[in-house]
Amino acid sequence: MVIFDKSVEGRRGVVLPGCDVQEPDAIPAGYCRKQPAELCELSELDVIRHFTALSRKNFGVDNGFYPLGSCTMKYNPKALEVIAGIDGFARLHPFLPQLRHGGMLVQGALRVVWELEKLLCEITGMTACTMQPLAGAHGELTGMMLVAAYHRKKGNRKKIVLIPDEAHGTNPSSAAIAGFETRPVPTCQSSGMLDIAALEKLLTDEVAAIMVTNPNTLGIFNSKIERVAEIAHRHDALVYYDGANLNAIMGRFRPGDAGIDVMHMNLHKTFATPHGGGGPGAGPVAVRENLEQFLPVSRVIKRSDNTYQLDYDRPDSIGYIAPFYGNFSVCLKAYAYILLLGGKGLKEASETAVLNANYLMHKLKDIYDLPYPKTCMHEFVLSAKKQMANDVHATDIAKALIDEGFHPMTVYFPLIVKEAMMIEPTETESKETLDRFIAAMRRIAETAQSDPDQLRAAPVTSPVCRPDEVKAARDMDFSA
Amino acid sequence: MSYLPHTAAQRREMLSACGVRNIDELFVDIPASLQPLSFNLPEGRSELEVVDYFKQLASKNYAHLTSFIGGGFYDHFIPAAVDAIAGRSEFYTAYTPYQPELSQGTLQAIYEYQSQICRLTGMQAANASIYDGGTALYEACQMALRTTGRERIVVDGGVNPVYRKMLYSYTANLNISFSEVQVTHGQSDREHIFKELDENTAAVVLQNPNFFGVIDDHADIVNYCHAKGILVIQSVYPVAMALLKSPGEIGVDIAVGEGQCLGIPLSFGGPYLGFMATSKKLVRRMPGRIAGRTTDSAGREAFVLTLQAREQHIRREKASSNICTNEALCALRAHAYLSLLGKDGLCKVARLCYAKAQYARRRFDSIPGVEVMKSSPTFNEFTVRLPLDAGDVAGRLIERGIAPGLPLGRFYPGMENYLLVAVTEKRTKYEIGLFAEALEFILRETGA
Amino acid sequence: MTPDDRKYAASHEWIKIEGDTATVGITDHAQEQLGDITFVELPAAGKQVQRGAECAVIESVKAASDIYAPLSGEISEVNSALEDAPETINSDSYESGWLFKMKNIDTAGIAELLDAAGYEAQIA
């Protein structure tokens, strides 16, 4: 039953103040809609009950273990929400600094942006950073626009972007939308790393950039990353680093130290800002000095008197990619998270994320196929190959986890592993939780042999069982 | 503070289960030559200290000014129930609803949000939202270009200048051309728009009310464009949609806009909410996520993300957009806001905004030296011409605790004396009076 | 069984030439790989297509697949019944589930197409 079905004609939810000015002439009828929009008519309690009921049909990190690979579903500290709710931030109008000397009206906010940029540069080893991109994929697109601006400025005619075949789907999509053609680079079957020999062959003077994810989506760290950068730079191709997996390496590796030119971070993954059920996130982009001049406007600069101002006078900038200063309150939370943990805490977070992933991998590799058997970073990829003998697929195992009280792992990604199951426990999960998960996964593997039908029927304990996706796509019922 | 749960004993036990002696052995793939050259970050601090630090920073922001700033982003009243709903961690600590069995709450909320947007805009299908109004407008342009196979877009000068700048940045490397047509008497200049249309034009981009707050009825432009196979994209202000002709009513092909006004705090520019809606005919061309209603294997009503085959995680470089998130939590806020205000409440908000803005218009018009632009009707925002540089006047008013609006010189060269003033339901007659008196005083004092 | 009255492309399209027109569809193997088909985007009649060029898209719940023209020619007719019933491709890919017809086909390149036995060997 959707909310509109609960509507009762004449019921009211919010009382508004009376009009304290003289009623003006009505808006000329020619400009007005004929019928009011059919919004619902409910009391405040009706609305609260409706949404509370919906929330109970949802599962978040606060409800339980959420080992969704590639998504870094770590705990979101509650203090971050308190900080974002402070009036001095929440009520701040973004046009305020556009008034003359308006920067002085928002010194606290500008300092947040400036300090966070500096911290993210130190964490990644990059030179400069912009908070503008509104999500990870938006960061990728921004990065590709920077690559295009760099080559345009140099008079280079380069159209191709190389992308490993294990990469997130957003990589080729972002490159294509920025105006590039993409070519896949194969992954070496034995090492699980990008095939360097193949890369050397593909790298011609036509190549504008290569996009790498390290650790890659198999959870494997490419120890030859410096070599990749070196080969690329020989052809004046830039190296883009997809920072989706930054949670594996804080304090252990900095992309900037390996010659990376441009990268994005997902604040909603590594820096614990809530995922919000699919957003908002934030995808800051960091660059080496060779790309700094192209960063989007505006930039926050610090003056000699320790005040901050916005700089729009940047002739080589790619321009506006967001209306203001990025998803400010997400950035605010990430800054608070870094201050809470400190350098040591961030390093320990990465180390524990890697420990948790390896622990799970070691406890599961005897019963599930592990296509790339090596030390993993913060996540690893299993295959349901063994269970396929009983016609049990990765999706069945994922759904069975729901009945065990867990959120499923990521399935069918990366595409290069058949029946892939990608598991990322994150650092905030306790050993007891991990042990319960291991027990559940072992039970499911047993059931795959003893009673595969049970897995194919899972889940049975959730608010609904498997929805009919074909019907959804054919009926196209998108609104009530 | 680190939020790490393991005891030292557990850590040892886990390392040994992994067959290693210490944590370093798990990082063997990182060569010694790539150890960080520096990792010079502050020490971690307690929650108490960190929250205090942010309170201090926040106190340096002038968030308490009586604000008449709009420009597409408004200081509207947000009922406490919106925060209570969005504050439920079952919603905000969840990921994208890829596992529908555990995400019915988010999915149904998105489906209902899409329905709210359709009802408000009069369109047939909305997506689950896009980053903000500007990216939504850009995605709408891409959609029109893909649909028509043409390469040119005509943009009305009344479209938010920030959005126009975004459009041009995004398309700098693509084979797409734009032409802008300045407004006349505050409204869309039909004659010049029509002159700009050719067989390579994919779409005309309009805004209602436009950046100057002026109301228009774009039905004639829609009809003219459709006769030439050109699509019309209209960016709209959702609160104004309670009263004004909806995009659906006049046959617009793609409606977009900024949903910040629907219960989302200003938060210095984000996160916000780009909404996007279109006709059934064009729905497969629409980027972004879409929730659909279906049934589960037991025949119960269920919701699921659908039409995913056109998205980037499946379609990769051929996807219709690279966007993979929506702004689910902001969409949830907008949905909660619209549910609480309801059919009658949103109209009341819109009427209050309109009435107070009209009152302010009349009040300012009575000030000697101030000229209110009156050639066209406005909703809750209007431009005034001052006898002095608007930036200077704004600076003086801020000293008196009033953020008087947006000086337009920055966006429209030659309009340095113009101020764009917005009035929402939160402003009182008293505050409008204070603003007007302060302005009178300043003008008198400077002898203007 | 793979019908032997037509030719096959390695990319899983079939083409049946009758007089001066040819009918194009996808193979039973291809529809099975795609799963439940939910949408078909067909080219406009009158459009010239080159051999190997993308000229249609078939969507299922989990995939979107490009259809390539097996030979060069002009699109003369499309199977508009698929708009409302794309599942026809699942149930009858070789007959009523055809995608489009072509005329003025250029038979150059026909030698590179497979016969039924050759296609079966490819997917085996």
Q: What is the pLDDT of residues B84-104, one digit of tens each?
A: 999 999 999 999 999 999 999
Task: Say if residue A93's pLDDT is above 90.
Answer: yes
Distance from CA of B303 to the nearest CA of C (A): 15
Contact between chains at C63 and B318 (C-beta distance less than 8 A)? no
> For residues A308 and A107, what is the distance between their CA atoms, to the nearest angstrom?
6
Task: Say if residue A202's pLDDT is above 80.
Answer: yes
Inter-chain CB pairs, B–C, below 8 Å: 21
CA distances to A289, A293, A324, B156 from A313, in Å? 18, 11, 15, 26
Percent of chain A with pLDDT over 90: 96
C7-123 CATH, one of 3.30.70.260, 1.20.1250.20, 3.40.50.150, 2.40.50.100 = 2.40.50.100
Q: What is the pLDDT of residues B248-293, one digit of tens each?
A: 999 999 999 999 999 999 999 999 999 999 999 999 899 999 999 9
Residue B278 backbone phi and psi in degrees, to 5: -150, -170
Whose tokens are 């790339």? That residue is A372
C77 touches chain B (CB under 8 A): no
pLDDT of residue B56: 98
Q: Any idea of the CA torsion for B357, B408, B406, A328, to the nearest 10 degrees?
A: 130
Helical (H) or strand (E) element with C18: strand C13-18
Q: Determine the residue among B48, B68, B99, B412 to mutate to test chain A binding: the one whose Cβ has the most chain A Cβ atoms within 10 Å.
A: B99
pLDDT of residue B301: 97
**Is B61 part of a structural domain of the chain?**
no
**Residue among C39, C63, C66 minimizing CB distance to B284:** C39
Contact between chains at C39 and A469 (C-beta distance less than 8 A)? no
Query: Can you read off the two tokens belonging to residue B261?
Result: 């006004």
Distance from CA of A73 to the nearest CA of B (A): 8
CATH of the domain at B166: 3.40.640.10
pLDDT of residue C22: 95
Distance from CA of B319 to the nearest CA of C (A): 10
Mean local confidence (pLDDT), C30-45: 92
Contact between chains at A470 and C38 (C-beta distance less than 8 A)? yes
Contact between chains at C64 and B310 (C-beta distance less than 8 A)? yes
Do B247 and B274 fall within a single domain?
Answer: yes
Nearest Cα residue to A339 out of B61, B60, B56: B56
Task: Say if residue A237's pLDDT is above 70.
Answer: yes
Cβ–Cβ < 8 Å for A281, A287 = no
Contact between chains at C62 and B308 (C-beta distance less than 8 A)? yes
Mean local confidence (pLDDT), A469-479: 94
Whose tokens are 């700033």? That residue is B69
Contact between chains at C61 and B314 (C-beta distance less than 8 A)? no
Distance from CA of B326 to the nearest CA of C (A): 20
Question: Closest-CA residue in chain C for A476?
Answer: C38
CATH of the domain at B347: 3.90.1150.10
The full set of domain ranges for chain C reads 7-123
pLDDT of residue A320: 97
Query: Can you read off the two tokens belonging to residue A41?
Result: 């008519």
Query: Under 8 Å CB-to-CB from A40, ≥6 apart: which residues?
Result: A3, A4, A6, A7, B338, B339, B342, B343
Residue C21 backbone phi and psi in degrees, to 5: -120, 155
Q: What is the pLDDT of residues B15-67, one digit of tens each?
A: 999 999 999 999 999 999 999 999 999 999 999 999 999 999 999 999 999 99
Nearest Cα residue to C41 out of B147, B226, B203: B147
Mean local confidence (pLDDT), B110-130: 97
Q: B305 forms bridges with which residues in the sheet?
A: B291
Alpha helices in B133-174 (DSSP H): 133-148, 161-170
pLDDT bin (cut points 50, 70, 90) of residue B307 is: confident
Mean local confidence (pLDDT), A131-160: 97
Q: A369 forms bridges with which residues in the sheet?
A: A383
Contact between chains at C61 and A474 (C-beta distance less than 8 A)? no
Cβ–Cβ < 8 Å for B420, B68 = no
CB atoms within 10 A of CB A370: 17
C62 touches chain B (CB under 8 A): yes
Contact between chains at A137 and B324 (C-beta distance less than 8 A)? yes
Contact between chains at B315 and C60 (C-beta distance less than 8 A)? no
What is the number of alpha carbons within 13 Å of residue A116 lying toward its C-beta? 33
- Given B310, B337, B364, the domain boundary residue is B337
Which residues in chain A are contacts of C39 at CB distance < 8 A?
Answer: 473
Do B240 and B284 fall within a single domain?
Answer: yes
Do B254 and B374 fall within a single domain?
Answer: no
**Is B60 part of a structural domain of the chain?**
no
pLDDT of residue B314: 66
**Is B56 part of a structural domain of the chain?**
no
Q: In terms of pLDDT, which residue wins out, B318 or B245? A: B245
Cβ–Cβ < 8 Å for B129, B308 = no
The distance from CA A255 to its chain's CA centroid, rounded to whole angstroms, is 18
Query: Under 8 Å CB-to-CB from C100, ≥6 apart: which residues?
Result: C23, C24, C42, C43, C55, C56, C75, C76, C77, C78, C79
**Residue among A91, A178, A465 minimizing CB distance to B298:** A465
Inter-chain CB pairs, A–C, below 8 Å: 11
Contact between chains at B407 and A76 (C-beta distance less than 8 A)? no
**Residue among A98, A172, A318 minimizing CB distance to B406:** A98
Query: Can you read off the two tokens belonging to residue B367?
Result: 């000030």
Q: Calculate helix-pair angle for A328-364, B8-17, nearest 10 degrees.
A: 50
The three-state secondary structure class of C52 is coil
Contact between chains at C59 and A474 (C-beta distance less than 8 A)? no
Residue B265 backbone phi and psi in degrees, to 5: -65, 155
- How much is the mean pLDDT over chain C? 92
Q: What is the pLDDT of residues B143-192, one digit of tens each?
A: 999 999 999 999 999 999 999 999 999 999 889 999 999 999 899 999 99
Helical (H) or strand (E) element with B431: helix B429-445
Domains of chain A and any CATH numbers = 81-339 (3.40.640.10), 343-457 (3.90.1150.10)
> For residues C57 and C41, what is the distance between their CA atoms, to the nearest angstrom?
5
Contact between chains at C59 and A469 (C-beta distance less than 8 A)? no
pLDDT of residue A409: 97
Q: What is the pLDDT of residues B318-357, one digit of tens each?
A: 777 887 778 999 999 999 999 999 999 999 999 999 999 9
**Is B317 part of a structural domain of the chain?**
yes
Nearest Cα residue to A123 out of A230, A263, A221: A263
Query: Can you read off the two tokens belonging to residue A339?
Result: 């201050």
The subunits that touch chain A, with at least 3 C-beta pairs less than 8 Å apart, are: B, C
CA distances to A116, C3, C17, C45, C57 from C71, in Å? 57, 19, 11, 16, 17
Inter-chain CB pairs, A–B, below 8 Å: 690
**Is B55 part of a structural domain of the chain?**
no
pLDDT of residue C60: 87
What pTM did the predictor assign? 0.96
pLDDT bin (cut points 50, 70, 90) of residue A65 is: very high
Amino acid occupying residue B230: I
pLDDT of residue A199: 96
Give the C window 42-61 contacts with B, CB below 8 Å. Answer: 59-61
- How much is the mean pLDDT over chain B? 95
* SS3 sequence of chain A: CCHHHHCCCCCCCCCCCCCCCCCCCCCCHHHECCCCCCCCCCCHHHHHHHHHHHHCCECCCCCCCCCECCCCCCCCCHHHHHHHCCHHHHCCCCCHHHCCCHHHHEHHHHHHHHHHHHHHHHHHCCCEEECCCCCHHHHHHHHHHHHHHHHHHHCCCCCEEEEECCCCCHHHHHHHHCCCEEEEECECCCCCCECHHHHHHHCCCCEEEEEEECCCCCCCCCCCHHHHHHHHHHCCCEEEEEECCHHHCCCCCCHHHHCCCEEEECHHHHCCCCCCCCCCCCCCEEECHHHHHHCCCCEEEECCCCCEEEECCCCCCCCCCCCCCCCHHHHHHHHHHHHHHHHHHHHHHHHHHHHHHHHHHHHHCCCCECCCCCCCCCCEEEECHHHHCCCCCHHHHHHHHHHCCCCCCEECCCCCCCCEEEECCCCCCCHHHHHHHHHHHHHHHHHHHHCHHHHHHCCCCCCCCCECHHHHHHHCCCCC
Distance from CA of C111 to the nearest CA of B (A): 30
Which residues in chain A are contacts of B67 at CB distance < 8 A?
Answer: 93
**Is B54 part of a structural domain of the chain?**
no
Give the B window 377-416 contacts with A, CB below 8 Å. Answer: 377, 379, 391-392, 394-395, 398, 403, 406-407, 410
Distance from CA of A410 to the nearest CA of C (A): 15
Do B329 and B360 fall within a single domain?
Answer: no
Residue numbers of the domain that contains B288: 80-337
Which residues in chain B are contacts of A320 at CB distance < 8 A?
Answer: 134, 162, 165-166, 169
Cβ–Cβ < 8 Å for C107, C71 = yes
Give the count of domains, chain B.
2
Which strand ranges, in their side-by-side order, compose the sheet holding B254-258? Answer: B125-126, B274-278, B254-258, B231-236, B201-208, B152-156, B177-181
Cβ–Cβ < 8 Å for A240, A144 = yes
pLDDT of residue B448: 65
Mean local confidence (pLDDT), C85-95: 95
Query: Can you read off the two tokens belonging to residue B396?
Result: 């003086």
Mean local confidence (pLDDT), A208-232: 96
Q: Determine the residue among B148, B280, B284, B305 to mutate to test chain C binding: the one whose Cβ has the most chain C Cβ atoms within 10 Å.
A: B284
Mean local confidence (pLDDT), A24-42: 96
Question: Residue C59: which region, alpha, beta or left (left: phi > 0; alpha: psi -120 to 50)?
Answer: beta
Do B276 and B413 fall within a single domain?
Answer: no
CB atoms within 10 A of CB B102: 29
**Is B184 part of a structural domain of the chain?**
yes
- Given B319, B337, B355, the domain boundary residue is B337
Do B149 and B167 fall within a single domain?
Answer: yes
Do B426 and B305 fall within a single domain?
Answer: no
pLDDT of residue B2: 75
Distance from CA of A332 to the nearest CA of C (A): 37
Question: Closest-CA residue in chain B for A122?
Answer: B39
> For residues B252 and B278, what is the distance between their CA atoms, to the nearest angstrom?
8
pLDDT of residue B318: 73
Chain A interface, Cβ < 8 Å to C = 469-470, 473-474
Question: Closest-CA residue in chain A for B3?
Answer: A428
Distance from CA of A28 to the nearest CA of B (A): 8
Q: A210 forms bridges with which residues in the sheet?
A: A162, A239
Task: Say if residue B312's pLDDT is above 80.
Answer: no
Distance from CA of B284 to the nearest CA of C (A): 10
What is the number of alpha carbons within 13 Å of residue B179 lying toward its C-beta? 13
Q: What is the pLDDT of residues A291-347, one digit of tens each?
A: 999 999 999 999 999 999 999 999 999 999 999 999 999 999 999 999 999 999 999
The subunits that touch chain C, with at least 3 C-beta pairs less than 8 Å apart, are: A, B
Distance from CA of C47 to the nearest CA of B (A): 14
pLDDT of residue A419: 95
Which residues in chain B are contacts of A11 at CB distance < 8 A?
Answer: 342
Which residues in chain C are contacts of A169 at CB distance < 8 A?
Answer: none
CA distances to A470, B224, B306, B309, C37 from C61, in Å? 6, 38, 8, 6, 7
Do B123 and B173 fall within a single domain?
Answer: yes
Contact between chains at C61 and B309 (C-beta distance less than 8 A)? yes
- Given B282, B312, B337, the domain boundary residue is B337
**Is B31 part of a structural domain of the chain?**
no
**What value, to the nearest 5°, has the Cα angle with vertex A260 and ends A259 and A261?**
110
**Residue among C61, C86, C87 minimizing CB distance to A469:** C61
Q: In terms of pLDDT, which residue wins out, B446 or A49? A: A49
Q: Determine the residue among B98, B280, B307 to mutate to test chain C binding: the one whose Cβ has the most chain C Cβ atoms within 10 Å.
A: B307
Query: Under 8 Å CB-to-CB from A133, ≥6 apart: which residues?
Result: A139, A141, A142, A264, A282, A283, A284, A285, A321, A322, A326
Do B261 and B323 fall within a single domain?
Answer: yes
